[in-house]
């Protein structure tokens, strides 16, 4: 438990100028990430990626807080409007995901698609679920990371 005392002493020894410098550095990191995200949205013309059959996508249904990761089984493009409708299915499910969609919704639209899978990390999705169900854990984690950034010497 000696590291707690060292951390408290480190925080007490900080001067206002150091705290402000670290806070500005943290703000620059966050805003840089947001600027890159918005620039990519402008370059690609949308928030969501191009969807192809058999690709695994992350989508969020109206009325549900937690995103779902399932495989695309059908893509339907309307010729007159150019809108793309997507139907998904979980790999271990017998039928499509229409039961998971909002009441009366048969297809996912582009704004429901949040991204597509590019890798596989088992059990990492549980972190999202835990932080959504227990927001205090999310706030503690963000606070701890912010404290680490502010108290770092670099």
Tokens matching residue 144 = 């701890």
CA distance 21 to 152: 11
pLDDT of 132 strictly over 80 = yes
113-116 and 84-89: which strand pairing? unpaired
Segment 53-94, tens digit of pLDDT? 778 888 888 888 888 889 999 888 888 887 888 999 988 889
Segment 31-47, tens digit of pLDDT? 998 888 788 777 766 66
The torsion defined by the Cα of 68, 69, 71 and 77, in degrees rounded to 10, comes to: 60
Tokens matching residue 97 = 């995901």
pLDDT of 52 strictly over 80 = no
The answer, as to whether pTM is greater than 0.85, is no
The predicted pLDDT at position 136 comes to: 94
> Collapsing DSSP states into helix, strand and coil, what is residue 51?
coil
- Residue 149: φ, ψ to 5°: -65, -45
CA distance 95 to 89: 7
The torsion defined by the Cα of 145, 115, 64 and 122, in degrees rounded to 10, comes to: -60
Binned at pLDDT 50, 70 and 90, residue 49 comes out as: low
Segment 104-128, tens digit of pLDDT? 889 998 888 888 888 888 888 888 8
Task: Pick the closest to residue 72 from 48, 92, 97, 99 (CA basis).
Answer: 97
């Amino acid at each position: 438990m000696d590291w707690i005392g060292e951390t408290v002493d480190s925080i007490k020894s900080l001067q206002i100028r150091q705290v402000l410098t670290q806070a500005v550095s943290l703000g620059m990191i966050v805003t840089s990430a947001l600027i890159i995200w918005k620039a990519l949205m402008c370059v690609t013309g949308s928030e969501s990626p191009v969807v192809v059959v058999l690709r695994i996508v992350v989508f969020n249904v109206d009325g549900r807080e937690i995103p779902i990761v399932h495989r695309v089984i059908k893509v339907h493009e309307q010729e007159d409007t150019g809108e793309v409708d997507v139907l998904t299915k979980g790999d271990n499910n017998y039928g499509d995901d229409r039961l998971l969609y909002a009441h009366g919704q048969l297809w996912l639209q582009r704004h429901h698609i949040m991204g597509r899978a590019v890798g596989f990390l088992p059990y990492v999705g549980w972190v999202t679920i835990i932080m959504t169900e227990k927001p205090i854990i999310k706030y503690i984690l963000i606070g701890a990371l912010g404290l680490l950034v502010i108290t770092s010497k670099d």
